[in-house]
Structure 1
Amino acid sequence: MRTLGACWHCVFQRDGCPDDGNPCKRCVDKAKRGQLRYIPCNRDKLVILVHDFLPPSMTDMHQKQTIEDYVKANIVHFYQDKPVKVELTSGYGPPMIWDLYEFKPTDTGEPLRQLQYFQNPDTRLVESRMKRSPPLGLLKLETGDDDRFDEYLQRLLNPINLWDFGWTCFEEETQINTFQAALLQAICTLYTETQDIDLKSVLEKVLRMMLVTYIMAHTLTISEDTVDNVERAVRHSRPLALPQPRSVSGPHARHISPRLANRQLKFFFSLKRNKICEDILNWLQQTFHNSGKEETWLASFCTMLGLAMALEEFQRTLWIQADAKIRKGEKSAAVAEEEASNACGRIDVRFDLLVGLFQCKYRRKGWTYGSFGPQTPQLNGEENAPGRKFLAEVHGLLLDERQHLESRRQYPLEKQYQCFCTTRLVARFLLPFLGLST
């Protein structure tokens, strides 16, 4: 039992499990009486959920060995005599400035072209476009560069940058509905305004997760005002000529990205994403085990919202990667789409477990009407004013957009609905609050 640990129902009752069964005898008896609520008998340590949230089908391309194998197969050599200083941006915050090196590709020219994806605002479908890619990359992946990425994320957390992060992060979604953008922006505001050190520490983890999720979901492109200078600095290769449809204009006209460098830099962000997700799941594990409720409710509430938003983007990414695998001939359509569907389904199941655990932990009929409606705690005192303001804003959004959230919650995990992932898991977490009674 010491190795297995008690099941979650026994944890919440502050009891040891009566046996090592799956389900345990206490949960079997509760089920017979109809008292097994929210989740089945479960002993999982929450940190293992990271393997379902970030499955190999999504993360393999960002593994160090995978990238090094790609370089060996597609690059003859690097020209190391003259690095090119390049500003790279994901579309949010200040750019990253990195020294990149021109390389000679193999005869296939594979690294000189890149598939980029965007959402068509008229059809609401994800579309791809092949872009030329300058032959620039890092000489090797240096683990010593890790600190530079921590410093960069810290810069992005500056209030000067956070003031519009929600609206930037969900720019495409705002063409249909502004709920998700307003929700994330409210979390940003709470982070900048709260004086609660513990809450601020949790919110920083949540926002770092959202920042890395946003970066991983967007191509790192060369800052528009520096593209011409960068391309002129490429001395040994002629740019790849690709046919461009006449419809290419506006924000998708250029967005030039060094494909190899983009993939190499995302190796580091992928490491950050894994570590942040593990830290957040470990925090939830400890918090759900802790007997405190009122003092941890708001931090857990924000963490669940952040996880829901990040997981929705993971599901969308899985479908985009499936399409890329099909177009490159790496997998058949049937295999790639089944892989994405199964991975998305596992994310759903594991997030439902977290929702059930939150409900088991924090449902208290002793809380009549609190800061987020029935059966939620009342945040009193001047020090909790930012929290009350945040919850009032989110509750208002929930009431105003209930119909939108109800519709999003119902969408199945299928390729044609990938643009409707946004708000889908958030709705599954938030809507039950409207069904609580005083």
Structure 2
Amino acid sequence: MTLMHQKQTIEDCVNDQVARWDLTNSIDVYLTCGYGPPLCWKLYEFEPRSEELLGQLQYLQDPVTGASQRYQKYSPPLGLTKLDTSDDTHFETYMDQLLDPQLLADEFGYTCFEEERQIDDFQAKLLDLLCGFYAQTQEYDDLHVLLRSILRMMLLTYIMGHTLTLEESTTHGVLAAIRHSRKPPSHALSIHTSPRLANRQLKFFFSVLRNQVYDQLLHWQQQTLHASTPKKEVTWLSAFCVMLGFAMVLEEVQRTIYIQADAKAAKGEMSQEQAETEAGNACERIDRRFALLVGLFQCKYRDRKWGARGSFGNQTPELVDVNERHFLGSVYSLVVQKRKHLESRKDITLLPGNQCRFTSRLVARFLLPFLGLPP
């Protein structure tokens, strides 16, 4: 899944598809993933060797059928002349802007699951509760730091699963500056225009950050599940939040894998059957690994000694902090309220036609067992 975002793969694409760069034609471009302020970057026009980088496949969910629809869109020939590691600090600064606690609490949950909300708002409300909880924690508290990493992981996964597109108000100005290749007639332009090469190049930097936070949180969870100290009631909430983050992220990853499979088939890189088989095998491996992680969590954190007074139902610890109790109580009430929806999602089959129903599938497998625990 990450091959296309590796530096060498991108550089090979540039060598193969870019005839020359026009260093006299730089354009300040504002790109958005749909959440938060746009990313401003100086891009340069290039003269393409073929039509390859002048078009882009984008996938949107049909609001009527709920199915994912593929669209072929024009892509302006703009990119970065090189991938420079000195740019890393710019991306860290941008991530700090996107991770502002108030911005997260106001927007992220409902933006991240905007398409899913056309079907059900469970996941949007769940993420909204997590963002609100993060905003209420103290800045230098260990839980605040961990929640920031979880939301960073989710945000980077969201960015990697969405096309970086031109801000609508700037599209015509950017396209007017193109000199060396065809442009579509103005009436043929649509929303969500994206410079395909620049999108891939910028996602290289986000991909590096994503891999770092994945590794960090997997290591944290492994150490926490393995350690015998401190007492498990001390780490229960933190481990619970990490599990929620993993579940939501892995659902998005599984959906992205099927989208990439369809794109491979559409571009003739492999047959539709081969692409779908490859995607299915990868997603099944994710299912098995996540099931193992859920089992490990249950082995460590289910305890009959905690009885029926737990903050998240039977066999969970009773927490003292008001914000923690409110967060868990709100999540528990949401799960009870949406139980029927979660039951309908947890056994969704891993098939291309179901990819828009993967949301809440793994979350349900983690949360629903809490409702059936005896006191």
TM above 0.5: yes
The alpha carbon displacement at 1:120 in A equals 0.3
Alignment partner, residue 173 of structure 1? 116
Q: How far, CA to CA, are the matches of 2:301 and 2:79 in structure 1?
A: 49
| Deviation string, structure 1 residues 38-65 (Cα, Å, up to 9, x no partner) | xxxxxxxxxxxxxxxxxxxx11111111
Q: What amino acid is the match of 2:112?
A: C
Q: How far, CA to CA, are the matches of 1:366 and 1:301 in structure 2?
A: 19
1:130 aligns with 2:67: no
| Deviation string, structure 1 residues 136-181 (Cα, Å, up to 9, x no partner) | 0000111111121111111111134211210000001111111000
Q: How far, CA to CA, are the matches of 2:24 and 2:38 in structure 1?
A: 25
Alignment partner, residue 407 of structure 1? 344
Change beyond 3 A, Cα 1:361–1:242 = farther
Structure 2 unpaired stretches of 5+: none
Q: Spell out structure 1 runs of 4+ moving beyond 3 A.
A: 240-244
Q: How far, CA to CA, are the matches of 1:350 and 1:145 in structure 2?
A: 35
Alignment partner, residue 13 of structure 2? 70
Alignment partner, residue 358 of structure 1? 297
Q: TM-score, normalised by structure 2?
A: 0.96
Q: How far, CA to CA, are the matches of 2:323 and 2:87 in structure 1?
A: 37
- The higher radius of gyration belongs to 1
Q: How far, CA to CA, are the matches of 2:198 and 2:15 in structure 1?
A: 15
Q: How far, CA to CA, are the matches of 2:110 and 2:171 in structure 1?
A: 26
Q: How far, CA to CA, are the matches of 1:233 and 1:296 in structure 2?
A: 55
Q: How far, CA to CA, are the matches of 1:240 and 1:261 in structure 2?
A: 19
Which among 199, 202, 209 is matched to residue 146 of structure 2?
A: 202
Alignment partner, residue 264 of structure 1? 201
Q: How far, CA to CA, are the matches of 1:326 and 1:243 in structure 2?
A: 29
1:374 aligns with 2:314: yes
Alignment partner, residue 30 of structure 2? 87
Q: What amino acid is the match of 1:222?
A: L
Q: Secondary structure at the match of 1:396?
A: helix
Q: Secondary structure at the match of 1:83?
A: strand
Alignment partner, residue 121 of structure 1? 63
Q: TM-score, normalised by structure 1?
A: 0.83
The alpha carbon displacement at 1:225 in A equals 0.9
Alignment partner, residue 345 of structure 1? 284
Q: Secondary structure at the match of 1:374?
A: coil
1:319 aligns with 2:262: no
Contact between 1:88 and 1:97, CA under 8 Å: does it hold in 2?
yes
Contact between 1:89 and 1:96, CA under 8 Å: does it hold in 2?
yes
Q: How far, CA to CA, are the matches of 2:107 and 2:42 in structure 1?
A: 29
Q: Secondary structure at the match of 1:294?
A: helix
Q: What amino acid is the match of 2:370?
A: F
Identity among equivalent positions (%) equals 56
1:239 aligns with 2:191: no
Contact between 1:131 and 1:242, CA under 8 Å: does it hold in 2?
no
Q: What amino acid is the match of 1:202?
A: L
Contact between 1:76 and 1:103, CA under 8 Å: does it hold in 2?
yes
The alpha carbon displacement at 1:238 in A equals 2.8
Q: How far, CA to CA, are the matches of 2:293 and 2:73 in structure 1?
A: 40
Q: Secondary structure at the match of 1:127?
A: strand
Number of positions where the alignment pairs a residue of Structure 1 with one of Structure 2: 370
Q: How far, CA to CA, are the matches of 1:386 and 1:117 in structure 2?
A: 39
Contact between 1:216 and 1:270, CA under 8 Å: does it hold in 2?
yes
Which among 277, 294, 300 is matched to residue 214 of structure 2?
A: 277
Q: What amino acid is the match of 2:65?
A: T
Q: How far, CA to CA, are the matches of 2:341 and 2:279 in structure 1?
A: 25
Alignment partner, residue 173 of structure 2? 229
Alignment partner, residue 95 of structure 2? 153
Q: What amino acid is the match of 1:64?
A: K
The alpha carbon displacement at 1:73 in A equals 1.1
The alpha carbon displacement at 1:242 in A equals 10
Q: How far, CA to CA, are the matches of 1:286 and 1:418 in structure 2?
A: 32
Alignment partner, residue 142 of structure 1? 84
Q: Secondary structure at the match of 2:2?
A: helix
Q: How far, CA to CA, are the matches of 1:220 and 1:178 in structure 2?
A: 24
Q: How far, CA to CA, are the matches of 1:200 and 1:267 in structure 2?
A: 28
Q: How far, CA to CA, are the matches of 2:134 and 2:16 in structure 1?
A: 45
User: What is the root-mean-square deviation of aligned Cα atoms in Å?
Assistant: 1.4
Which among 212, 220, 223 is matched to residue 286 of structure 1?
A: 223
Q: How far, CA to CA, are the matches of 2:63 and 2:56 in structure 1?
A: 22
Q: How far, CA to CA, are the matches of 2:25 and 2:270 in structure 1?
A: 39
Alignment partner, residue 104 of structure 1? 47
Q: What amino acid is the match of 2:13?
A: Y
Q: Secondary structure at the match of 1:98?
A: strand
The alpha carbon displacement at 1:98 in A equals 0.1
Q: How far, CA to CA, are the matches of 1:67 and 1:241 in structure 2?
A: 29
Which among 229, 239, 242 is matched to residue 300 of structure 1?
A: 239
Change beyond 3 A, Cα 1:174–1:348 = same
The alpha carbon displacement at 1:220 in A equals 0.3
Q: How far, CA to CA, are the matches of 1:414 and 1:301 in structure 2?
A: 29
Contact between 1:133 and 1:240, CA under 8 Å: does it hold in 2?
no
Change beyond 3 A, Cα 1:329–1:293 = same
Contact between 1:194 and 1:387, CA under 8 Å: does it hold in 2?
no
Q: What amino acid is the match of 2:161?
A: A
